[in-house]
Structure 1
Amino acid sequence: MTTPETSLIRLASPIGQLEITADAAGILSLSIENNGRLPYESVPENPSPLLHTAATQLDEYFSGTRRAFDLPVHLSGGTSFQQSVWHGLEGLAFGEVISYGDLGASIGRPGSGRAIGGAVGANPVPIIVGCHRVLATNGRITGYSGGAGIPTKVWLLDHEGIEHVV
């Protein structure tokens, strides 16, 4: 839930309406519209300079003129395991892909692909922290928790030129 210290902004995108929250430390969450709904849709917008910058950078990303985000992200909440996965995702650049197994190995948790998948799905800041860049070892999309699910992930992968199998 948002608090008076939390800023909130919404913006249109090719994958649906986005809702972004931030505090003084950075971006807290990015939600993609799902079935016409957003988590804080009943809360009035309370934009901050940081959120205006985030909206501009996301517009540039969707238009194809931005490949990296320059935004402070505050990955709060989650277990220490989830935090390690989310920080592992931060190292993936535009157009790069990693398998669940390789992501697990990169954070010192080989053989934990299913748990990695759960942590990837719980990423509070998709797109900016590119969880859509994680695929099965064979390049197959196994799921996506943002927006419309797999169609949203397909759009993001296609946008970045990442080969995949549906």
Structure 2
Amino acid sequence: MPHIDLYQAYGLDRRQPPDALAAQLAAQLNSIDPRDTLSCNRIDTARVILGDPARRARYDAALGDPAAPVLDEAALATIAGRPVPTAPRTGLAGAFAETSFHLDAHSRRYGQLLYAATRAVAATTTAGTRASPPNRVTWTPPGFDHLHHSLWAQQHQTD
């Protein structure tokens, strides 16, 4: 299986500095339908990796090393400091997963308000996990990588 080449996948010039690549990827992210969470997560993971000099150096070294482990989505998630994608759950775990609310790691250009109407919701960042009780609004600042999760189905609204 070949490496995932983020430069080729998103039409980026390798000679550009990290901040320019991050800006180009942010523009791509803002131009797609936000309901396409798979594409949003992939572009945002590329932005996190290529926009950070240390992560980009680690990625570039692995991309240029034919003996390096394959750069697949799990490897990219690790480099980006995000949860590794997991296989679909079956049995009881799958039943609970279907009744849960989960937003994968992401960031927002203008920040994010999240209202959990009936259940507690947790927000996880690099600083840790914080829980919010039902019927409260949480705020995540712009450009802050985070994910949201609740163990039970709920009505929710995001802005």
Give yes or no for TM over 0.5.
Answer: no
From the two aligned structures, give the one with the greater helix fraction. Answer: 2
TM-score scaled by length of structure 1: 0.24
From the two aligned structures, give the one with the greater strand fraction. Answer: 2
